[in-house]
Amino acid sequence: MPCRIENPPPPSAAATTLPEPLAWIDGDLARLAADDLVRPRRVRTGKQSARVSLDGIEMVNFGSNDYLGYAGDVRLTKAASKAACAEGFGAGASPLVSGHSQAHEALERAVADLLAVEAALVFPSGFAANTATIAALAGADDVIFSDERNHASLIDGCRLSRARVVVYPHRDLTALDHLLDAAAAARRRLVVTDTLFSMDGTVAPLADLCELARRHAAILMVDEAHATGVFGARGSGLVEQAGCEGGVHVRVGTLSKALGAAGGFVAGHGRLVEWLRHRARAWIFSTAHPPAVAAAATRAIALVAAEPERRRHLLARAAEFRTDLAARNVATGDAAAQIVPVVTGTATAAVALAGRLAARGYFVPAIRPPSVPAGGSLARVSLSWLHSEADLAGLADALAG
């Protein structure tokens, strides 16, 4: 039985007036509305799957990161239930105190084995993994080089570190080379990049980045959030696929997207992880995520190993879909993966396109500033192993029509 979610009661008249110190919020919200930047939160009923019911309207779901279809997989639910029965639901403390359960220990081993590295550290979210790791690796005497399209969690980690931050043009290694040269006197230089960029589906030039980092003796940290489980023969990500394991020093990923669970991880050299255990504040000062979630993520890693056909099928379908769109003159930029953007430019046009697609039964979110720069709004199609050929053909028709 799907559970019923009642809408909250309307706020009482007394609650509708903001206290004076917060009165500015009304004006700022009105400006967001005028610029088509209001973000509605819809209530989903039921599991993530190829279909999704949002606010009671069922649509084909092109708006989740459930790339391999594991988020609603009963095998993860069973693993979580078993762990919850054995270890209770809440972790009860930070990992350093008493929150690091057997389920977390098994998950960290499974992540390290998947990535073929010495050790891994699991965080309550990928966002926390990124911010904490960057701030643990760089400080006021250092310089961080950050791709201009990096995810917000990398950007916030840079800010948190208090290092000087140099933003380089998207995937522009000539510019990065010069910028690294110009900062040769810094104590440490850290290059951070997504491997698969979450908004436009482009891929970082990993082999060249490794070479650049090696030449400048810089640390190279990559965020594989959208690549974990999807790329590479073992499914560990784009670093594996590019054969760059030796050149990337710090690998972050999430358990929350293709793996269908929740949490983030950092993986690499054993002493890197030992250092993070002493300096990564979001790991030290935050309750470990529930053991049941760790057990579900460990099960998903086993499924990634056992079911390589899911990622192969997904990437093959994604390539066909992009080719189909190109043949219909729907531009998808430089996308090279399961994330396919249809750039509209203005936020208003993105909202209009998403509305048109929704009217035809397709949920495709409108991505607008601050997720993308002003003028770079888009409708982002996220493909999943769960989609049928008919789903993709129907969406291509709707986008071209």
Ligand X SMILES: Cc1ncc(COP(=O)(O)O)c(C=O)c1O
**Residue ranges binding ligand X (CB under 6 A):** 125-127, 130, 151, 153, 194, 198, 223, 225-226, 254, 256, 264
Residue 98 carries which DSSP code? I
Q: Is 257 assigned a catalytic role? A: yes
Of residues 287 and 346, the one with the C-beta less far from ligand X: 287
Question: Is 98 tagged catalytic?
Answer: no
Cα 87 from chain centroid?
Answer: 28
Query: Nearest 5 degrees, angle CA 35-CA 40-CA 41?
Result: 155
List the catalytic residue out of 100, 104, 216, 226.
226
Q: What per-residue string of b and e applies to 340-379 under the rule 16 or more CB within 10 Å gives b?
A: bbbbbeebebbbebbeebbeeebbbbbbbeebbeeebbbb
| CA atoms of 75 and 331, how far apart (whole Å) | 38
Catalytic residue among 216, 257, 289, 387: 257
Q: How far is the CB of 368 from ligand X (least distance, A)?
A: 15
Residue closer to ligand X, measured from CB, 297 or 396: 297
Least distance to ligand X, CB of residue 141, Å:
26
The residue (of 225 and 366) whose beta carbon lies closer to ligand X is 225
Catalytic residue among 161, 198, 377, 384: 198
Query: Is-catalytic flag, 125?
Result: no
Residue number, 31 or 42, with CB nearest to ligand X: 42
Judged on CB neighbours under 10 Å (0-12, 13-18, 19+), 306 is exposed
Beta bridge partners of 45: 53
For residue 75, what is the DSSP state? H
Nearest to ligand X by Cβ — which residue? 126
- Long-range Cβ contacts of 150-155 (<8 Å, 24+ apart): 150/192, 150/193, 150/194, 150/197, 150/223, 151/194, 151/198, 151/223, 151/225, 152/127, 152/370, 152/371, 153/126, 153/127, 153/128, 153/129, 153/223, 154/130, 154/192, 154/193, 154/194, 154/223
**Which C-beta is closer to ligand X: that of 378 or that of 396?**
378
Provide the minimum distance between the beta carbon of 128 and ligand X in the complex, in angstroms, as a whole number.
7
391-to-67, 116, 397 alpha-carbon distances in Å: 15, 36, 10
**Cβ of residue 70: shortest distance to ligand X, in angstroms?**
14
Reading the block at residue 198, the tokens are 């979450």
Q: Left (φ > 0), alpha (ψ -120 to 50) or beta: where does 131 sit?
A: alpha
φ, ψ for residue 52 (rounded to 5)? -140, 140
Q: Judged by CB, which is closer to ligand X: 237, or 264?
A: 264
Give 12-28 as a DSSP string.
Answer: PGGGGSPPGGGTHHHHH
Task: Provide the minimum distance between the beta carbon of 276 and ligand X in the complex, in angstroms, as a whole number.
Answer: 16
Q: Walk across the sheet containing 366-367 and list its strands.
A: 339-345, 377-382, 366-367
The least CB distance from residue 193 to ligand X, in Å, is 10
CB of 130: closest distance to ligand X in angstroms? 6
Q: Which is nearer to ligand X, 125 or 146 (CB)?
A: 125
Q: What 3-state class would DSSP assign to 202?
A: coil
Nearer Cβ to ligand X (151/171) = 151
Provide the minimum distance between the beta carbon of 275 and ligand X in the complex, in angstroms, as a whole number: 21
Task: Provide the annotated active-site residues.
Answer: 198, 226, 257
